[in-house]
Structure 1
């Protein structure tokens, strides 16, 4: 395939009030013909370069590294009740085997062990030799005496072998993913490692598996940047220590802290420890200062901090210290995170780093939820649909505080937080807690010193609690919807839709080449082979479902081809057939997804539909395809919550009007608005239009004005608005009005969104609705941008690598876009409490005076010392 002639446009983004879409088209065409806003072609960057690079990339398998011999021989000889015991590993292996997950993975084999040189990449030679020596001691009492020197440790004669074996599996799984042999992987190992320091064992950890594997891959130049995500309930202090002054490893930890009162009680586990030297800003701690946190609390952390930073950092490899002691039932964490949540974390990260994710087992000490959480994590790596999350309500205030504290400490280091407003806190300033937040450090911890306890230093559950939590996990297991398997991606297309063409007089960007170019790229990328074509029945008639949306008089004109052409609506003898066929193609895909023939799908149809209202065609649109699909899903399958995301650069005024009074369809549109001066020139495209009656709060407009918005602004809107609302709505089906005219070089949109960014949006939406997601073509009038954008969406649906655009958050969010995002948050948080998490934050970090004896009164006190975090 020959590359298109590439032109980068310099547009005049000042809005020009035009009477119709035809005037906008004419204006753009005139500018293009005159060549008044084109750069030198020789120096123009190729906006499709990454798309070409990823054209033939495919998804490889998932690798698992584990064994049930050496690592289970590691146990506590003097305390049989110690929670870090062999059953942790055995029950995980049994559970994933029972779910037939191992047969879907590649089981790694190793023919050599790691060496002392590997261990000393992170640890001292003395530490290596010490573990060798202690593991040779035959006397249990002597080994217990050795354990008193270290916090939370035990030793047996098999400990050294087990630690080396765990490290070997971790290194080999990580290298196999970095080398591209596998897509992602899971090292299911013990003993864990994230507490192990340069010269000290700690918290059941001997060698820091994740840190060593990351360092080895960096030194062997298998990757350049690694992001380590630690969701173990304990702070990964050993990993933080290893990379605290470096920027080639970004360490992110969300952990129980309780203002330093929870183990390991370290001051450096707080949010203001963000790294030093060139590593400043590359160490992120999210301290959790209360127990009982649920999925919604953890999800707020993921959406507000983890994902924005991950997209800006753009790592080559993501490593996850997968501790499951925040899962429901674990006495260590005392949190209430469900097993399914861990699948969501994996899916939300899967668009980053080409999906190269390596999970490594750390903690987790309630066996039923540990095994289930690990199994759901592996299903996430395999690309299976995420289970629905539990109903949890708004984010707890303590977590809101922690999130905003982190943003305050990181504000000057990450552009992804630039939509935040700051204020100067002075004595006597009256803070509005609903909108403002004082960034404040509170630490009330005390460090224990040796000799350490060697027995009964860990929390235990009562039998009643064990029974309750076990019952919860059993109920989770009994719900078949938590264990869906990925059934593939479908697509629908019918040649008759190509026959709707403009005549020689009626110039239109909405022409058949938009579809033929998509099909050409699909064939070149072999997506026509890896995806399933879903053919509609030739005698299918969906007229009755069109009447659920459009009035009979209008539909009669459509099917008899008696509509009157006007400025933005051309008609030929095939228009009626093309329009009705497009509806039927889409409804056939709805059938395929809701009957689980496929998990997700893409409708390659035209003419588009989202401007078509109940009784009027406009903006190239005749029948509102996606609205008919929503009505069809409700009528035929009883789907009661449908989420429509409209990505077209033009507001989907038709779709909004159709569902404006409905609480069963949530409509979210992100579009160019220009204060009402951009097509369709309606003020109802503004943020204040939220729905009416039962539908109040179920219409969300994200209107951008006064600027050429691109990847950064769109992603910021997704993370701050679309995903929090989408998760809170808990849809049963997601329909995407996939207009690509916000894409770069589009002659009508004037925006700068890259094709690969559209693929990232699909990755972010896949965790919703049990994966039931249908991408429906709307606008997009640069045929190359449109074709590559749909290609990236299809790759994302299929779980294939999609690149992160290189310019994401490389600059601050456009100030006008940031203002629009804040306006939407302010309006919509009345209906969606999860949007109330972001606050205005104080420009300085306050330090609460130390109090030895912690109490709620101390926690609430307002005695702050004002200090700049960067001082």
Structure 2
């Protein structure tokens, strides 16, 4: 895929000009270190490189405007710490107000006071800059701040343009300063202009977002790793993904009986700090769905806001379009975040069906970063990981035990309780929990620990060692030189594939093929024998680390699948996750030793025949299919942590092409991209083509309009999860209500 990379070296110009342990961590090296790492890894060269432009003041005014009459003025610890110094007198005149009307986008005017204030910082002395900075919380100004902030916002807009005009499929903008804490007329948390909010409004007004796109932007403020102690910020990355797993429909569809006059945009904020600035801007707007997971600790973590809790769901017509997932305990790991993805974010996102996805990509919850996006090695590694994903490279498998913490489950269920009245997809999670709100007042907060102090230095040394250990493990995982291979038993002139997808001509040695063919007489037939040789050759390439994924067509799926499964286990795979669709039964003599997890979709009934043998019917609705994948298939897959994923589309598998594509795309994650798909030879070229494209990293097509799962499907899924949750921790999300309110 064509990936844009937007950056400008002049964004490194602003720096702290006085001593301030709280602010010294926001430094130009955050960008230069990331760029150097991208260059060293050959990633910059693989991208379409674009130089950032400045956002115009009119474009800034899409968000940074005066509130309309009667608007709510937010209270609390937002605008900044108290200062005994008078604000400086600026030597600039205020421009004429530019008015505009935007409906749900809000009625207001460009805020000349705020934009002019920032423009005036270019002419201030160091003493005046320090005095002005003291009026805000965790902010410092430099004579170059205004220029850098306009470049940061402009980089996001340029990336929007590149994706929405088809110049790029997706992209990443490395920007500074960040933006998600910035409010309409107030800098906050190192954020000057709200880059992601400006990008959202720009996309709605300039482009109408009337095509399949996804997007993302990142920034933040101070942090610890969803776990450490200290304060800091996140890096400013901005990424846009055209299509993605949430590829939208072209036609407008009402949501819960409400049809918005503007294109639907999803903003995902994965910073460790709550992006209160984005929330305030869109909290009454049903055209923008804002999701944030963040460290909260019952209101005792910055920014100390009551409205960062799960029951803050938006205002007026925007109720249900703010989704906060507050972490109340430090040290959240892979299993906790994966549970949040599968049981909150993705169900709601698929139901919302956005036309654009913006991600505020803060890396301050990464392992090894005690300062929130300011540990240069951790930051640069995170940036590289995201760019690789945008380029379509398979992500390395998740490390460590996949067991969600009790506190994480409490937070997820609090979100369910707050959001279930607004989202059908959350009714289908099989739980009706009682809302558990924070009993601690945000006012009773601890003093912030400065990363520059002794405790911050000690935490940095400790977590640097953790990061080093993690990187050593990740270096053991190498990306195969060939991403996707397709092996056909007959020519397919109508098959359209990306040029990088290889057509396999070779086969396994005849003696190897003959030895395996003896297991089933059907495999000795000419076409089946040829297909078997091809699949064995491809499987060996995957297991030897030369190929990441592949597709093979075969006239006899069941015996071929059994051979592939046995060959994989004998050739070095420790755990194989097999997803069999259609009339494909588990081999009766397959050992139940924990090395194979067999899941049959389109089984006659939902049944856990053993811990490692599960059968579930195929739902006929979009909601039922998504519930099965998100609430059963993927929790099992990530909990099993396989070396290899096998997907077999057998006779009467019943999947539509978009469903098969989505399943294959999502199953790239658990095994680090090592996925082998077996397809019945009678399948269409269109199905084979779409599977090859998603395994190569392209987005799957849309599932179409969201429809609720049937009561029978939901009951079967809940019953099956109940049978399995004692053995599979990733399914253990249904806490008793008394545990939540205890």
Same fold? TM cut 0.5 = yes
The separation in 1 between residues aligned to 2:466 and 2:430, in whole angstroms, is: 42
CA gap 1:330/1:702 in 2 versus in 1, 3 angstroms: same
CA gap 1:545/1:232 in 2 versus in 1, 3 angstroms: farther
Alignment of 1:93-132 (within 5 A): 93-110=35-52, 112-124=53-65, 125=111, 126-132=113-119
Q: Assess if the C-alpha contact under 8 Å between 1:197 and 1:239 holds in 2.
A: yes
CA apart distance, 1:477: 3.3
**Counterpart residue number, 2:197:** 211
The separation in 1 between residues aligned to 2:193 and 2:159, in whole angstroms, is: 16
CA apart distance, 1:464: 4.4
The separation in 1 between residues aligned to 2:494 and 2:264, in whole angstroms, is: 31
Alignment of 1:285-434 (within 5 A): 285-332=324-371, 364-421=373-430
Unaligned runs of 5+ in 2: 66-110, 210-262
Alignment of 1:652-691 (within 5 A): 652-655=584-587, 657-673=588-604, 675=605, 686-690=606-610
CA gap 1:196/1:579 in 2 versus in 1, 3 angstroms: same
- Residue 701 of structure 2 aligns to a residue whose secondary structure is coil
CA apart distance, 1:536: 3.1
Deviations 1:548-593 (A, max 9, x none): 9x4xxxx4x557xxxxxxxxxxxxxxx7223322222211110222
**Counterpart residue number, 1:442:** 438
- Residue 303 of structure 2 aligns to a residue whose secondary structure is coil
- Residue 825 of structure 1 aligns to a residue whose secondary structure is helix
Q: 1:470 aligns with which of 464, 479, 482?
A: 464
**Counterpart residue number, 1:791:** 689
CA gap 1:301/1:73 in 2 versus in 1, 3 angstroms: same
CA gap 1:492/1:367 in 2 versus in 1, 3 angstroms: same
CA apart distance, 1:795: 1.8
- Residue 228 of structure 1 aligns to a residue whose secondary structure is strand
Q: Assess if the C-alpha contact under 8 Å between 1:211 and 1:239 holds in 2.
A: yes
Deviations 1:227-258 (A, max 9, x none): 11101000010011111111221111000011
- Residue 360 of structure 2 aligns to a residue whose secondary structure is strand
- Residue 200 of structure 2 aligns to a residue whose secondary structure is helix
Deviations 1:369-399 (A, max 9, x none): 1111111111111111111212134111111
Q: Assess if the C-alpha contact under 8 Å between 1:63 and 1:182 holds in 2.
A: yes
Q: Choose 1 or 2 for highest CA Rg.
A: 1
**Counterpart residue number, 2:576:** 642
CA apart distance, 1:272: 1.1
The separation in 2 between residues aligned to 1:740 and 1:306, in whole angstroms, is: 33
CA apart distance, 1:415: 1.9
Unaligned runs of 5+ in 1: 1-58, 333-362, 424-436, 496-515, 560-574, 610-623, 676-685, 691-696, 744-752, 843-858, 863-871
- The count of aligned residue pairs is 641
Deviations 1:65-89 (A, max 9, x none): 1122343433353337621111211
**Counterpart residue number, 2:479:** 484
Q: 2:674 aligns with which of 747, 772, 780?
A: 772
The separation in 2 between residues aligned to 1:266 and 1:468, in whole angstroms, is: 30
Deviations 1:700-730 (A, max 9, x none): 22245xxx62332222111001111111111
**Counterpart residue number, 1:565:** none
Deviations 1:607-661 (A, max 9, x none): 221xxxxxxxxxxxxxx2112112212223x11111111122x3x2243x24352
Q: Assess if the C-alpha contact under 8 Å between 2:487 and 2:505 holds in 1.
A: yes
CA gap 1:87/1:193 in 2 versus in 1, 3 angstroms: same
CA gap 1:456/1:795 in 2 versus in 1, 3 angstroms: closer
CA gap 1:531/1:602 in 2 versus in 1, 3 angstroms: same
The separation in 2 between residues aligned to 1:730 and 1:216, in whole angstroms, is: 41
Moved over 4 A (4+): 453-464, 839-842, 859-862
- Residue 397 of structure 2 aligns to a residue whose secondary structure is coil
The separation in 1 between residues aligned to 2:187 and 2:441, in whole angstroms, is: 21
The separation in 2 between residues aligned to 1:740 and 1:188, in whole angstroms, is: 48
The separation in 2 between residues aligned to 1:483 and 1:88, in whole angstroms, is: 26
TM-score for both structures, normalised by structure 1: 0.69
CA gap 1:367/1:740 in 2 versus in 1, 3 angstroms: farther
The separation in 1 between residues aligned to 2:130 and 2:615, in whole angstroms, is: 63
The separation in 1 between residues aligned to 2:301 and 2:278, in whole angstroms, is: 18
**Counterpart residue number, 1:28:** none
Q: Assess if the C-alpha contact under 8 Å between 1:113 and 1:168 holds in 2.
A: yes
The separation in 1 between residues aligned to 2:599 and 2:295, in whole angstroms, is: 35
Q: Assess if the C-alpha contact under 8 Å between 2:429 and 2:631 holds in 1.
A: no
The separation in 1 between residues aligned to 2:275 and 2:406, in whole angstroms, is: 24
Q: Assess if the C-alpha contact under 8 Å between 1:387 and 1:481 holds in 2.
A: no
CA gap 1:537/1:261 in 2 versus in 1, 3 angstroms: closer
* CA RMSD, 1 decimal: 2.7
**Counterpart residue number, 2:90:** none
- Residue 599 of structure 1 aligns to a residue whose secondary structure is strand
CA gap 1:258/1:627 in 2 versus in 1, 3 angstroms: same
Q: Assess if the C-alpha contact under 8 Å between 1:330 and 1:365 holds in 2.
A: yes
- Residue 357 of structure 2 aligns to a residue whose secondary structure is strand
CA gap 1:539/1:393 in 2 versus in 1, 3 angstroms: closer
